[in-house]
Homo-oligomer: A and B are copies of this chain.
């Protein structure tokens, strides 16, 4: 245990870069908490593990072999905040690797009713399993859990399935993986257009942040003036020399895009119904736009969608948002395989 690990409040205020070592073991990721934990090497590795998992599981024999890799492990999915999508993605990722799963999806547990502290509750869960995957509404709580567990006699790795409004590292992972996988030559050199509620969308923030791992990427932020990308991300892009533009003109950005990342208006974060005043119609992708974009472009969306993408667009081959969801399951399985160190044991696909 490093010295910075002695006191939670002190630890919590420490810069993320400084505390990353605390969440690693034997030279590899142990707890997955922040998008900032992923560097280029790790991204490339996780993506290649995901690719190998997909290939290996195409046959029954391969899938059964993969499901034996972690058949002796048990994972707990502790989702205090409702999230069907992320929950199912992780659950099936576990099942692919053979992990047995337990789930708590209630917002209240009986022990909390009996006055137990949240830290004790999580520590109880850890008694029974080998990994905890959790989503929690309180900012920093997932990190605190990992901190507590790392100091316990029987630590188990913690995977962040969404914490507060800020960190959702596996969503960032699946977004980058989708671009990496869908575009010839991967992410390097591409123009990525992000559209919609950039101010409050957790996914566009992390995606932008992770672009520093790639060369020659250009970002175009298309949003209503009220919902522009926040200054901290723009500053970070400037610091890393990543060119970006801000505009309200979606039509002009379309033909330049290699990837178009659409987002839903996050009106659940409204303070006083301010979303109603936004003219969001200009930030939607309609069937008529299909002819305006490159034949090689991809249209992405973290889902759920409302009206940002017309349903008939789904049938176009460039609409990859359903594949993006499935990519999430594979990249999460890859991440879990890496944390448990079985990534090298995934059988090579038969050619």
Q: Taking beta carbons and an 8 Å cutoff, which residues of A are in contact with B?
A: 57, 60, 63-64, 67-68, 71-72, 74, 76, 82-85, 88-89, 91-92, 95-96, 100, 102, 104, 109-111, 113-117, 119-121, 123-125, 127-129, 151-154, 264, 268, 303-306, 311, 315, 322-323, 325-326, 329
In the complex the two chains form, is B92's CB within 8 Å of A109's CB?
no
Smallest CB–CB gap between A104 and chain B, Å?
Answer: 6
Cross-interface CB contact of A83 among B60, B110, B311, B322, cutoff 8 Å = B110
In the complex the two chains form, is B95's CB within 8 Å of A91's CB?
no
Cross-interface CB contact of A125 among B83, B88, B121, B154, cutoff 8 Å = B88
Cross-interface CB contact of A72 among B67, B82, B304, cutoff 8 Å = B67
Smallest CB–CB gap between A334 and chain B, Å?
Answer: 15
In the complex the two chains form, is A109's CB within 8 Å of B95's CB?
no
Contacts A63-B71, A84-B121, A127-B329 supplied; 5 other A-B pairs, CB < 8 Å: A92-B128, A111-B303, A114-B264, A114-B306, A124-B325
Smallest CB–CB gap between A88 and chain B, Å?
Answer: 5
Q: What CA separation (Å) do A196 and B145 show in the bound complex?
A: 29
Q: What CA separation (Å) do A223 and B110 show in the bound complex?
A: 25
In the complex the two chains form, is A268's CB within 8 Å of B88's CB?
no
In the complex the two chains form, is A128's CB within 8 Å of B71's CB?
no
Q: Which of A76, A85, A264, A329 has the most CB of B within 10 A?
A: A85
Smallest CB–CB gap between A302 and chain B, Å?
Answer: 11
In the complex the two chains form, is B72's CB within 8 Å of A123's CB?
no
For A268, give the chain B residue with the smallest CB separation: B114
Stoichiometry, as copies per complex, reads 3
Q: What CA separation (Å) do A96 and B63 show in the bound complex?
A: 18
Q: Which of A268, A304, A323, A329 has the most CB of B within 10 A?
A: A304
Q: What CA separation (Å) do A154 and B314 show in the bound complex?
A: 12
**Chain A interface, >50% SS class:** helix
In the complex the two chains form, is B100's CB within 8 Å of A304's CB?
no
Q: What are 25 of the A-B contact pairs (CB < 8 Å)?
A: A57-B72, A60-B71, A60-B72, A63-B71, A64-B68, A82-B110, A82-B113, A84-B109, A84-B110, A84-B111, A84-B121, A85-B110, A88-B124, A89-B127, A91-B128, A114-B264, A114-B268, A114-B304, A114-B306, A116-B304, A119-B311, A124-B303, A128-B326, A128-B329, A153-B322
Q: What CA separation (Å) do A91 and B113 show in the bound complex?
A: 21
Residues of chain B contacted by A329 (CB below 8 angstroms): 127-128
In the complex the two chains form, is A152's CB within 8 Å of B322's CB?
yes
For A89, give the chain B residue with the smallest CB separation: B128
Q: What CA separation (Å) do A74 and B333 show in the bound complex?
A: 14
Residues of chain B contacted by A63 (CB below 8 angstroms): 71-72
Cross-interface CB contact of A120 among B60, B125, B303, B315, cutoff 8 Å = B303
